Structure 1
């Protein structure tokens, strides 16, 4: 080997060893805890998607420390994964899933008295896009975000939001309260001066006519079903930058949990940092693209959801090089199970699962991070999964039964993928 080659390898090793210290860290002495109020620079969603899809891959090419370690097979270990465990952090509470009762899982962070009390006063409507809804204040002065199901897919969005939030809570993550609600449109009031953007792009008064247009196609036996998320207490700072937390095991391993739930919308904007007066708490939010739902499409997922990025340069290049013969591996097991369940099957490949845009924390995940999450998933019982599904209040028992069966099958496949069978069985006990 030439002297020049030895020098290059030596330099790569130096960069590899120092790579873990190469990015700015704002954590306290407790790894991945944030005891200060973070300053959040809000990115428009369109710019964020361009950033993570185009700019960040280019940036990674010049991150020699991480590139060197990857080439040498020495991945950067998580800051807070010690002796196979992770302590409390900004996004995570180290609760033991085994200690949670089925009732604990069914309610998650909610309590029965968290449900909104009528009448509900609309303070800000959301009528654009595929997911309609509105911010409301209930009779007790509490604030909620209420989201409506797609007209042709009753229970789809609301069910996915509720089930996924309960299971993520059981795994230890901070999530807001999500609960299914059913109300008579007569229980809604429109606040003073409320406006909404019209088809012309301009703001117009939001009146009873526009409210009726939202409610009427969704009426079932005189009531409308929705999901209500109580607005979090504390000072809302804005979305987290996942790459800022990319060396935290619980944020990296969220990829495994999201693969289980097929929650493909893992962009920064589906997280929220909140200052509670003593520390910054990270919440995971917006689960309308989990399970068989796709809030962006306003209906069921497509078969390639979870298998390719929306803009997937690797797949596009392979298709180009093979003159169109290459096709991405997708889940072609079947179509939508029902309007309420959507497209959700037991077929899962955790190593190749992808959200719809790249997530820097997910790509930093190591085998140790994934095994830690698989161990936590193995400790969830089928009864706990059923409790989470029961919170969605599906009108058809067969829909609820299908989801329990499919979630259990996907969980088993992931646990067996990352853990030895004996270890998986022992952890489950």
Structure 2
């Protein structure tokens, strides 16, 4: 039984083997009918597909080239912008440098002019006091230079509100406590700075007749009030300059009579002789003509760059200051104030008229230089307008001096006697 079973198993195994031998044939036949054969070599692409690929590559190439060109253009634009910015920066730097250089030069000129003016004032005062030059060369003149540079430094750095009161206090303190000579040194420096400052404001007045049309103010000739206000603003710095010169030198004549005695005393002696001889009278006609002739000379002195104008202002101021120092103050004021206020106002305005004439002449002469903003005709018209302002002042001065002459001829003696009892 066992053998028969073994024989049956072997037969079954043989049948199974035969089955496995037939299956590969079926497997081999199935791929031939249904599954495509795998090709080892690529078939050549169709020409249409190749053209499409070539077109794509060409488009990409063109795009890349365009992007490269755009990048290069951007770089060029950036370089152009950077160049323009660099040029602008250079121009701004050069413009700022020119402005800075001009400012430096103007500051140097202001320091130089102010120092020279202070030295000239001190030398002229020493000459009138008959002091020899070697006596002031060692100490006084160097101190004048130092004082002028200090005051000018503070004034040019926008500290005028500080340095001007401090200078006045220093002058008073040095005059009382130290020495009047050293106080006079500070006074010379202070006068020079005030003079330069007023002249600067006079020639940079925005209310004045401007050559550049951008800065011209519209004129309203119909309104008299508006015209008077504009007129006042045009001449206010001329009046201020004349007033400062007169007050300062009147105080110098009062506090330093010995310094200016040789200059003033001949005029006083001549006036006394005229009174004794009868040529000097207290008549209205004589007083008016005498005072107005002085005003006319100050007006005409503007044609000589105001040299005569300044001299007459200084002389009259020193004369009044000296007379006040030699006479009792109550006596002097009683016989001077009634007519003196109006008369001195006329003399101060005469100085302003002379300064205005000088400015008019300089405006016309500046037309010979090249000016892009204005023609020579504009300079002439502007100068004529300035001269008209001075002529209007002279008419006002005539009225003031006539009133002063009338008061002096008819009222001063009685008013002075009444004040003195």
TM-score range (shorter-chain normalised) is under 0.3
Higher percent of residues as helix: 2
The structure with more radius of gyration: 2
Higher percent of residues as strand: 1
Scaled by the length of structure 2, the TM-score of the pair is 0.24
Scaled by the length of structure 1, the TM-score of the pair is 0.24
